[in-house]
Amino acid sequence: GQNIDQPTEMTATEGAIVQINCTYQTSGFNGLFWYQQHAGEAPTFLSYNVLDGLEEKGRFSSFLSRSKGYRYLLLKELQMKDSASYLCAVRDGDYKLSFGAGTTVTVRA
């Protein structure tokens, strides 16, 4: 199987920045995905990286540098509504998508 590791929990205050790292060991690589999942709801797609670089979508950014081993999701200007679980997923050489257990982010006032 594939190993996808990410921190279990992170806590931050409103307006702060949170960086969620993701490490993986897969057979081949065809992209890294980030999903957001609020409690009791479906995961929703946030971003996708397959080439090294930064993908920015509003307050959320995802960065990939395979050569330097950096893979993270950056949440800026945190808001209360950003409290959720953030799932890292990696597509391997066979295009199979494997998920990490998720990072629960709690935003406090």
Partner 1 sequence: ETGVTQTPRHLVMGMTNKKSLKCEQHLGHNAMYWYKQSAKKPLELMFVYNFKEQTENNSVPSRFSPECPNSSHLFLHLHTLQPEDSALYLCASSQDREGLETQYFGPGTRLLVL
**Which residues would be at the binding site for partner 1 (CB under 8 A)?**
4, 8, 31, 33, 35, 41-45, 48, 50, 87, 89, 95-102
Which residue's CB is nearer to partner 1, number 13 or number 45? 45
Which residue's CB is nearer to partner 1, number 72 or number 100? 100
Give Dmax over CA atoms of the chain in angstroms: 43
Q: What angle do CA 106, 98, 68 make, to 5 degrees?
A: 75
Which residue's CB is nearer to partner 1, number 31 or number 106? 31
Q: Please state the closest distance from residue 9 (CB atom) to partner 1, in A.
A: 10
Q: Please state the closest distance from residue 82 (CB atom) to partner 1, in A.
A: 19
Q: Please state the closest distance from residue 8 (CB atom) to partner 1, in A.
A: 8
DSSP 49-99: ESSSEEEEETTEEEEEETTTTEEEEEE-S--GGG-EEEEEEEE-TT--EEE
Q: Please state the closest distance from residue 37 (CB atom) to partner 1, in A.
A: 8
CA distance 101 to 4: 8
CA distance 98 to 17: 26
Which residue's CB is nearer to partner 1, number 5 or number 14? 5
